[in-house]
Structure 1
């Protein structure tokens, strides 16, 4: 069994509840239904899927988890590839709102917008002073896809404290 088959077998909430009931000692359908809170028909369907995946063994009255198989699957599983690793929230936000280095939209949620703005603020050198025209020009490049306008982006950067402003001169804060 592959990790994908295992994940597929346990992807459904009902199947997880049936699996947990068996782990906790239920050995027949009635006990599984009582512990899981599922109807008998749902239990039968979940048991069939879990048996097909190789997670559950036995028949009604002697249901069990194939613990040996699970241990073997854990030992033989290759390390996850980059594509299988969980994606950090920041990376997910950047993938969602940037295409080829161009802004396609601004997140409504402040924490996600902050991630995106921090990334954009990284295009300004710390300690260097920029006239408003240079800031606008740099931000227009980010806005080329129409996901936002440079003025809104500049205002967010200042409001979030990522850029500081005084008399039309901007610099990267922090």
Structure 2
């Protein structure tokens, strides 16, 4: 088991709840459901994922944590040292952009500003005046397949003064 597999297996809240329930004695799916309050489907999915990475075993007498595998993992040195920090701007862009499209808008203002600056730099030339229809068309391309819509994106660009507007004409100051 790699450190990434272990971290991935326990990254989900439901899988952690299932893991804890089994550590505390739940030996089958109905007992896990009872202790966690999860649906049977969610509990079974979590058990399958934890079993696939080797954290849990089902030895015929019930579900149990594979303590030996966890000890082997601990003896191997645990997770590797963290990689050097990447450029925070690039990290933000990788998080919120997929294949050149916006997946969602960050709630945190600083992250949203980084994303909006990126979109503005790639969509609008400074000093050029754009009719609202052209702005909407440019922003729709960024929003295809994501949770954000072009109207909200346009509003944020205006609010953050990355675009200026006067009587339906927009420009990048």
> What TM-score comes out, normalization by structure 2 length?
0.51
Post-superposition offset of 1:158: 0.3
Matched residue SS, 1:170: strand
Counterpart check, 1:130 vs 2:110: no
Cα distance in 2 for residues equivalent to 1:116 and 1:143: 13
Whose Rg is larger? Answer: 1
Structure-1 residue corresponding to 2:52? none
CA RMSD of the aligned region, Å? Answer: 2.2
Three-state SS of the structure 1 residue aligned to 2:164 is strand
Give the match for residue 146 of structure 1.
146
For residues 168 and 117 of structure 2, the distance between their equivalents in structure 1, rounded to whole angstroms, comes to 21
**TM superposition outliers: structure 1 runs of 4+ over 2 Å:** none
In structure 2, what is the Cα distance between the partners aligned to 1:129 and 1:112? Answer: 27
Give the TM-score of the pair, scaled to structure 1. Answer: 0.51
CA distance in 2 between counterparts of 1:89 and 1:109 reads 14
- Could you give the per-residue CA deviations for residues 43-69 of structure 1, whole angstroms, max 9, x where no partner exists? xxxxxx7xx97xxxxxxxxxxxxxxxx
Distance 1:115 1:168 in 2: 25
Structure 2, unmatched stretches of 5+, are 1-74, 78-82
Q: For the residues of structure 2 that align with 1:111 and 1:154, how far apart are their CA atoms?
A: 17
Structure 1: where are the runs of 5+ without partners? Answer: 1-48, 54-83
Aligned to 1:88: 87
Q: Determine the structure 2 residue equivalent to 1:41.
A: none
